[in-house]
Structure 1
Amino acid sequence: MSENVENLLLEHLRHIRSRVDQIAEDVTDLKHRMTSLEHGMGLIKREIHFGDEVDARQQVSLDRIVERIERIERRLDLTS
């Protein structure tokens, strides 16, 4: 009887061990996927930051153009 109990316990322990191994593999896979997601988010943040810089430069250019037009209008006495 005791041998049957030992065999049963060993069988259960082997099953538990295999499940733990599978869970460890899954966690490793999830870690890799999270790292990829974090890298992708970093790239997206950089793209957004670059877009903000472009917008700021364009706004500065537009402001300069508006100032020049206003100066030209004043010189030509075109202001109303």
Structure 2
Amino acid sequence: MSEDPENLTLRHLRRLDEKLDRLLDDQTEVKQRLGSLEQSTASISVRIDRLDERVARIDKRLHLVAH
């Protein structure tokens, strides 16, 4: 005996809902990880800028560049 079409439809809808929940969880995790990467990149950029300033000061002190 085959399953009631209404029950079959509900079962499929529940599966789709579960899959959608997993996708949303995955998307949330990806967004969090992307945010962490953006923060890390910004931090590295700041550090590079500071190093660039330090090198410029060293060059100036050693008269390696024109004033």
Q: TM-score, normalised by structure 1?
A: 0.75
**Rg larger for:** 1
Give the AA of the match of 1:11: R
Gap runs ≥5 in structure 2? none
Query: Which structure carries more relative contact order (alpha carbon 8 Å, separation 6+)?
Result: 2
Q: How many residues align?
A: 63
Q: CA deviation at 1:60?
A: 0.3
Q: Which whole-Å deviations, capped at 9, do the CAs of 1:39-67 have from their partners, x for residues lacking one?
A: 00000000100110010000000108xxx
Structure with more of its chain in helix, by fraction: 1
Q: TM-score, normalised by structure 2?
A: 0.89
| Runs of 4+ off more than 4 Å | none
Distance 2:4 2:49 in 1: 67
Q: What is the alpha-carbon root mean square deviation over aligned residues?
A: 1.6
Gap runs ≥5 in structure 1? 65-80
